[in-house]
């Protein structure tokens, strides 16, 4: 595989690119592949090149959604596992076909001091995750369940590329960490205010929900 050509889509420094082709590994994942587990350590750091990831925490076998990470620019996924083997504090699942880069930890410090582009990626990745988390905690504390549920459904709809979302009430209640009754009740309310229609095996968002 000619790594250097595809890497040029993501990095500009040619010396950095040749280093990456030499030492890093490219991994691809299919939708629903789970590859990070809370508490695990790796001797490499993971960068997202293409695709969308779902970041979540597990509690009592429920997967509680934190946020999604999309590959707008190269973004580091594992912030705790950056320069040393430190346990990862969330789990991650691919939402579509994803391409990730694994960079050995011992190269991280070296490249971050040698290549400005690399240092910049580290900084912007931290900022992206930070802002996503601020958003999550704000939504969780302030927004009523109706609005949180609608936001969630809109994201799923963008993801499934359809206004018609195939998803179970159980999955929604797990990811939003509330009871199935509350979710069912809230879906009914959203239907009454014409934001969606309940179908037999899916939820269909209406244009007025956007």
Question: Do β-strands 52-59 and 91-94 pair in parallel, antiparallel, or remain unpaired?
Answer: antiparallel
CB of 9 to another protein, least distance (A): 21
3-state SS assignment for residue 148: helix
- Tell whether residue 155 is a contact of another protein (CB under 8 A): no
- Tell whether residue 177 is a contact of another protein (CB under 8 A): yes
- Tell whether residue 168 is a contact of another protein (CB under 8 A): no
Contact residue for another protein among 138, 162, 179, 193 (CB under 8 A) = 138
Beta strands in the chain (DSSP E): 25-29, 34-36, 44-50, 52-59, 62-70, 75-76, 91-94, 98-104, 164-165, 196-198, 203-205
Closer to another protein by CB, 138 or 194: give it: 138
* Residue whose pair of structure tokens reads 């789970």 in the numeric block: 34
Contact residue for another protein among 79, 150, 165, 172 (CB under 8 A) = 79
- Tell whether residue 14 is a contact of another protein (CB under 8 A): no
Contact residue for another protein among 8, 34, 137, 182 (CB under 8 A) = 137
Q: Which of 155, 177, 179, 157 is nearest to 166 (CA)?
A: 157
Count CB neighbours of 145 within 10 A. Answer: 15
Contact residue for another protein among 14, 39, 41, 130 (CB under 8 A) = 130
φ/ψ region of 154 (left if φ > 0, alpha if ψ in -120 to 50, else beta) reads alpha
Hey, what are 27's tokens? 């991994």
* Segment interacting with another protein (CB under 8 A) among 108-116, 144-152, 164-172, 202-210: 108-116
Enumerate binding residues for another protein (CB under 8 A): 57, 59, 64, 66, 79-80, 82-83, 89-90, 112-113, 116, 119-120, 122-124, 126-127, 129-131, 133-134, 136-138, 140-142, 177
């Amino acid at each position: 595989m000619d790594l250097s050509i595809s890497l040029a889509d993501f990095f500009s420094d040619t010396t950095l690119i040749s280093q990456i082709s030499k030492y890093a590994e490219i991994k691809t994942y299919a939708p629903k592949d789970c590859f990070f587990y809370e508490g695990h350590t790796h001797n490499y750091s993971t960068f997202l090149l293409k695709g969308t990831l779902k970041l979540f925490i597990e509690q009592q076998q429920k997967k509680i959604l934190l946020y999604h990470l999309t590959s707008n620019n190269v973004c580091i996924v594992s912030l705790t596992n950056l320069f040393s083997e430190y346990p990862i504090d969330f789990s991650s699942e691919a939402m579509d076909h994803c391409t990730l880069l694994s960079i050995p930890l011992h190269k991280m410090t070296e490249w971050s001091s040698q290549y400005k582009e690399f240092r910049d990626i580290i900084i912007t990745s931290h900022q992206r995750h930070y802002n996503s988390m601020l958003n999550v905690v704000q939504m969780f504390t302030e927004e009523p369940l109706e609005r949180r549920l609608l936001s969630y459904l809109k994201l799923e709809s963008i993801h499934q590329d359809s206004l018609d979302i195939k998803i179970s009430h159980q999955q929604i209640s797990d990811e939003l960490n509330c009871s199935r009754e509350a979710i069912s009740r809230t879906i009914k309310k959203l239907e009454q205010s014409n934001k969606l229609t309940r179908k037999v095996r899916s939820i269909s968002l209406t244009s007025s929900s956007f």
